[in-house]
């Protein structure tokens, strides 16, 4: 099993990897399919289903889909150009993707929220259609946004294309048990094995440049979040708090005997900064999703700013270790809140961050696996119930608490020798089963939990 660090960590836009980035990626893929088709097209349509319909407005799914059909992609997204394009589309009822000419598209009638039809493959389903001059559909494709910005067609999902079918890699572990066995026999760290796998598909220089860029985007996101205040969009009137908390923490630095628990506030504020940026539609890195994007960068920033001996040069090992754990979770369970609740998002992120922190602080592979197990175990059963479908309440604070759990899990694992009662594989399987048993109202539909017990206006 191989999932690249650059698949697990993707630069994109908020507020959601599955509900914003995924639909935009799906639309880009559909445009490519149209370009390869012999038909002449005159219009496009889109329908959203399942969780994409129920929480699509709060997650800007309609906006992302429309922009995707106009040719925008998450990696190169430009907010100013996007706003100009949306204004023109609403006025002219036309999208103009490169190579396809003018295509009829009226956002009011051709962007459909279908709350009745749930597509069978995944909770995050959408149908994209292209029409002829008479308005008849002559090309149609079903897409599933399966979490973390990953997108599969209906056929790809049925064929199991979410698993790797490329050239063999040196360390193809499918489980944590296999990972530890390979680490012991090779004498390599988890990051070392992951690095060998990445280099077998690319090159060492590209890996170094790519991971450095990922951290740069993550850290820039933290910095923007610490500098900006105001009200987040969406109608809940949620106030940004990261800047105010950070300013207070800076002011308290000169005081004698600060409370020891203040270190938790630093972890929380780094995570909140990221997720406030995400909620505002800013640039973030999936880690493994947008909704959980703050946990991992907050943990590494805590390491850099507050742990003696920390160095930015450890970022590659940090991200490689995290990607190895995230790949196991995705392969054997899920990283999608719409599929398994927030245990699959913030829980997975905390496991990845805990393992990565343990690794860069000198943990053995057994201790790293233990750290991931502790963090994920104590997120089991967490529901995904965003108020009004916005990635704000409880998502922003939840990332902060996820970072605290990650650091605590790493510390606890480092206090032991790696031997522990519950294997990581068992926790991942438990998370999968729990997600399967969880009622749909608690899986990113905003039909249960906090979403219905807190006023939405």
Q: Residue 96: pLDDT band by 50, 70, 90 thresholds?
A: very high
> Residue 154 has what pLDDT?
95
Pairwise CA distance, residues 388 & 398, whole Å? 16
Flag whether pLDDT at 307 surpasses 60.
yes
Q: What is the pLDDT of residue 331?
A: 96
pLDDT band at 253 (very low <50, low <70, confident <90, very high): confident
Provide CATH 1.10.4100 ranges for the chain. 176-453
List helix spans (H) across 49-174: 51-54, 61-69, 79-92, 107-110, 154-158
Q: pLDDT tens digits, residue range 389-418?
A: 999 999 999 999 999 999 999 999 999 999
The pLDDT value given to residue 163: 57
What is the pLDDT at residue 186?
98
> CATH classification of 17-158, choosing from 2.60.15.10, 1.10.1740.10, 3.30.1330.90, 3.40.50.880?
3.30.1330.90
- The answer to whether 134 and 45 are in contact (CB under 8 A) is no
The tokens for 34 are 């149209």
Mean pLDDT for the chain overall = 96
Confidence of residue 455 (pLDDT cuts 50, 70, 90): low
Tokens 């963090």 belong to 375
* pLDDT recorded at residue 376: 98
Compute CA distances 241 → 116, 270, 401, whole Å. Answer: 38, 11, 15
> What is the reported pTM?
0.93
Q: Where do the CATH 3.30.1330.90 domains begin and end in the chain?
A: 17-158
Give 452-456's long-range contacts (Cβ < 8 A, gap of 24+): 454/387, 454/393, 456/235, 456/236, 456/387, 456/388
Spatial CA neighbour of 148 closest among 298, 297, 321, 344 = 344
With a CB cutoff of 8 Å and minimum separation 6, the contacts of 335 are 147, 148, 288, 289, 326, 329, 344, 345, 348
Beta bridge partners of 126: 48, 143
Instruction: Please report the pLDDT score of residue 269 as a whole number.
Output: 98
Architecture of the domain defined by 176-453: Orthogonal Bundle (1.10)
- What is the reported pLDDT for 161? 67
Taking each helix axis from N to C end, the angle separating 176-186 and 315-332, rounded to the nearest 10 degrees, works out to 140
């Amino acid at each position: 099993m191989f999932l690249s660090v650059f698949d697990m960590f993707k630069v994109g836009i908020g507020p959601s990897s599955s509900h914003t980035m995924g639909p935009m990626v799906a639309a880009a893929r559909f445009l490519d399919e149209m370009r390869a088709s012999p038909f002449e097209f005159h219009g496009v349509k889109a329908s959203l289903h399942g969780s994409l319909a129920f929480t699509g407005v709060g997650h800007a799914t309609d906006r992302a889909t429309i922009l995707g059909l106009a040719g925008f992609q998450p990696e190169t997204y430009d907010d100013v150009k996007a706003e100009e394009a949306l204004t023109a589309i609403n006025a002219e009822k036309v999208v103009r993707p490169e190579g396809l000419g003018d295509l009829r598209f009226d956002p009011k009638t051709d962007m459909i929220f279908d709350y009745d039809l749930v597509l069978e493959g995944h909770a995050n389903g959408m149908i994209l259609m292209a029409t002829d001059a008479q308005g008849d559909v002559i090309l149609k494709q079903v897409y599933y946004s399966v979490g973390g910005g990953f997108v599969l067609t209906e056929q790809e999902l049925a064929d199991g294309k979410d698993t790797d079918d490329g050239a063999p890699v040196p360390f193809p572990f499918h489980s944590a048990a296999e990972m530890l066995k390979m680490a012991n026999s090779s004498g390599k760290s988890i990051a070392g094995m992951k690095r060998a796998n990445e280099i077998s598909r690319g090159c060492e220089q590209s890996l170094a440049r790519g991971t450095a860029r990922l951290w740069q985007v993550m850290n820039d996101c933290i910095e923007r979040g610490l500098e900006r205040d105001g009200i987040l969009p969406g109608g809940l009137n949620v106030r940004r708090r990261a800047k105010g908390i950070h300013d207070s923490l800076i002011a308290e630095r000169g005081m004698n005997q600060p409370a020891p628990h203040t270190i938790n506030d630093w972890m929380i504020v780094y995570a909140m900064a990221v997720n406030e940026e995400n909620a505002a539609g800013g640039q973030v890195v999936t880690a493994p999703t947008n909704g959980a994007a703050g946990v991992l960068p907050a943990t590494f920033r805590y390491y850099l700013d507050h742990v003696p001996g920390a160095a930015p040069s450890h970022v590659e090992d940090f991200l490689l270790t995290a990607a190895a754990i995230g790949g196991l979770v995705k392969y054997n369970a899920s990283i999608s809140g719409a599929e398994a609740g927030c245990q699959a998002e913030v829980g997975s992120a905390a496991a990845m961050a805990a393992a990565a922190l343990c690794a860069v602080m000198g943990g053995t592979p057994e201790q790293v696996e233990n750290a991931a197990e502790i963090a994920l175990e104590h997120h089991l059963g967490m529901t995904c119930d965003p108020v009004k479908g916005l990635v704000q309440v409880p998502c922003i604070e939840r990332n902060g608490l996820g970072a605290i759990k990650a650091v605590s899990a790493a510390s606890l694992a480092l206090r032991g020798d790696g031997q522990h009662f519950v294997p990581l594989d068992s926790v991942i399987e438990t998370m999968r089963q729990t997600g399967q048993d969880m009622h749909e109202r608690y899986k990113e539909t905003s039909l249960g939990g906090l979403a219905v017990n807190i006023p939405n206006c």
